[in-house]
Amino acid sequence: VCELLPLLIPLLQQLHCDIICRLVVFLLKAYHRPLSASPQLQPLIAELSRLALARTSELRDLIGTNYHGMLFFQREMEAREGVHLFKDATVERKERERKKRRREKITQRAATLADSTST
């Protein structure tokens, strides 16, 4: 692990840093005690932490920008064509759950009525 951590710094500066961040977190969790006890690795761990935070922040900004750009594009297309491009999955899921709860209540009531009439 001590030889692997210095190799992760240049990898964090590349494009796909999310996998490297997961690897760093895994290694820090798995080898926390020996890594924190080693004074030579403290600056390296601090540098990895700084780089990981900076790169994940950049990715979050990029994803947020892309997401809001797509929402803007969707609204523009819907306004221009008068058609909804994407259905809201949460609305459909809530509707299905509501219907399922209603069916469960009906079957519960039927079971309760059947029990009360048989006694």
In the three-class reduction of DSSP (H, G, I as helix; E, B as strand; rest coil), residue 84 is classed as: coil
- Statement to judge: residues 29 and 81 lie in one domain: yes
- Statement to judge: residues 40 and 91 lie in one domain: no
* Burial per residue of 3-16, b for 16 or more beta-carbon CB atoms within 10 angstroms, e otherwise: eebeebeebbeeee
pLDDT at 84 over 80: no
Domain count within the chain: 2
Angle between helix axes 4-12 and 42-81 (nearest 10 degrees) is 30
Closest CA to 11 of 25, 2, 23: 23
- Statement to judge: residues 59 and 106 lie in one domain: no
pLDDT tens per residue across span 29-64: 999 898 888 888 899 889 988 988 888 888 888 888
pLDDT at 75 over 90: no
Domain that holds residue 45: 4-85
- Statement to judge: residues 75 and 100 lie in one domain: no
User: What single DSSP character describes residue 39?
Assistant: T
